[in-house]
């Protein structure tokens, strides 16, 4: 039982770490410049020079996947950070204060939850134009209510503990107790949620790029690669496989990691 759990966790961690490593390497080095067109070598099958082959414009697919990892990790990570930075303090505040403030925060949350995420992304794009930054904002905004809820739920449970009562007897106020006693005991919960939101962010980024609301050329993203490949399904069907599997394995790894962390917390 424990063995199986540990296996999922280890595999998830290994997959996640290799993607992160790939993203970091892509920052400094890729086999070819993924933006350089080389029409002569277009649509090559995988070979020693181009491990994953080349696309219709002769770009090296492996280099594009690596560059896509950079965007994917960056967008998902920054949107989780936005969610944590705004959502966690809101959740702590709502749990500590209760009453009208709690009611306001949670109903505001419901409002964001009820708003279709794609609609918001289109709205932001309409106002600021498309781009990776706007994808980060759109996904980040939807992470806020998730983290607010998780934090508030966990914090409400902690506020009934006797050690919180003891801290109040020691004269500590709501905000100090939230920072000293509540937040540190929620870290595990938030890491698990962060992992889950990260994987949702990867999917969301691919989705937004696919419909053209994410990273713009010459920036490269797995969603855009899928879109490009779609027009060539008859000519080079394997082109869609690389970005598709890139997303699939990354999300799978993150979910295994999240589940592993969750069961580790529980035991």
Partner 1 sequence: MTALLAIDSLDVHIGDVHVIKKLSLQVQAGEVLGLVGASGSGKSMTALAVLRLLPPRARLSGSLRLRGADIGAMTDAELQAMRGRDIGMVFQEPMTALNPLMRVGDQVAETVRLHGAASRAAAHTLARETLASVGLRDDLTGDRYPHELSGGQRQRVAIAIAVVLRPALLIADEPTTALDVSTQAQVLVLLRELVRERRMGLILVSHDLAVISQVSDRVAVMQDGAVVETGASTALRQLHHPYAKALLAAAELAPKAVTPAFAVAVAVGGTAIAALSDAAVAAGAAINPILEVRGLVRDYPGRRRSLWSAPPALRAVNQVSLTLYPGENVGLVGESGSGKSSLLRSILALDPVQAGEVRLLGEAFSAARGSALRRLRRSIQAVFQDPYGSFDPQWTVARLIAEPYYLVEAAPNAAERRRRVAMVLEQVGLAPSDAARFPHEFSGGQRQRIAIARALITEPAVIVFDEAVSALDVLVRAQILSLLDDLSARLKLAYLFVSHDLNVVRAIADRVYVMQRGRIVEEGATAQVFASPQHEYTRALIAATPRIGAAPI
Contact set with partner 1 (CB under 8 A): 161-163, 165-172, 180-181, 184-185
Least separation in angstroms between CB 35 and partner 1: 48
Closest residue by Cα to residue 258 from 13, 44, 27, 70 = 13
Least separation in angstroms between CB 182 and partner 1: 9
Least separation in angstroms between CB 161 and partner 1: 5
Q: Given the complex with partner 1, which of 42 and 172 has the nearer CB atom?
A: 172
Q: Given the complex with partner 1, which of 57 and 167 has the nearer CB atom?
A: 167
Closest residue by Cα to residue 151 from 198, 83, 106, 92 = 92
Q: Given the complex with partner 1, which of 116 and 171 has the nearer CB atom?
A: 171
d(CA 201, CA 260): 19
Closest residue by Cα to residue 56 from 65, 43, 40, 38 = 43
Q: Given the complex with partner 1, which of 171 and 217 has the nearer CB atom?
A: 171
Least separation in angstroms between CB 13 and partner 1: 23
Closest residue by Cα to residue 82 from 149, 132, 146, 144 = 144
Q: Given the complex with partner 1, which of 105 and 186 has the nearer CB atom?
A: 186
In sequence order, the 6+-apart residues with CB closer than 8 A to the CB of 13 are: 253, 257, 260
* Chain centroid to CA 223: 14
Least separation in angstroms between CB 168 and partner 1: 5
């Amino acid at each position: 039982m424990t063995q199986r759990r540990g296996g999922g966790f280890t595999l998830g961690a290994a997959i996640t770490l290799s993607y992160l490593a790939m993203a970091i390497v892509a920052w400094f080095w890729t086999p070819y410049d993924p933006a350089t067109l080389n029409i002569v070598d277009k649509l090559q099958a995988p070979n020693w020079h181009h491990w994953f082959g080349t696309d219709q414009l002769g770009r090296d697919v492996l280099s594009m996947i690596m560059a896509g990892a950079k965007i994917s990790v960056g967008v998902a990570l920054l949107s989780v950070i936005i969610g944590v930075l705004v959502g966690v303090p809101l959740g702590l505040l709502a749990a500590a204060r209760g009453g009208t403030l709690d009611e306001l925060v949670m109903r505001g949350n419901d409002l964001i939850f009820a708003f279709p995420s794609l609609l918001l992304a289109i709205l932001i794009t309409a106002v600021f134009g498309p781009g990776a930054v706007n994808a980060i904002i759109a996904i980040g905004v939807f992470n806020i209510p998730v983290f607010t809820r998780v934090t508030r739920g966990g914090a409400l449970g902690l506020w009934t503990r006797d050690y919180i009562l003891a801290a109040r007897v020691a004269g500590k106020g709501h905000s100090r107790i939230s920072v000293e006693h509540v937040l540190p005991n929620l870290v595990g919960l938030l890491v698990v949620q962060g992992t889950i939101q990260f994987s949702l962010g990867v999917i969301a980024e691919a989705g937004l790029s696919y419909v053209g609301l994410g990273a713009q050329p010459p920036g490269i993203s797995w969603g855009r690669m899928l879109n490009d490949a779609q027009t060539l399904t008859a000519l080079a069907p394997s082109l869609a496989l690389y970005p598709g599997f890139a997303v699939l394995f990354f999300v799978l790894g993150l979910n295994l990691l999240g589940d592993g962390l969750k069961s580790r917390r529980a035991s």
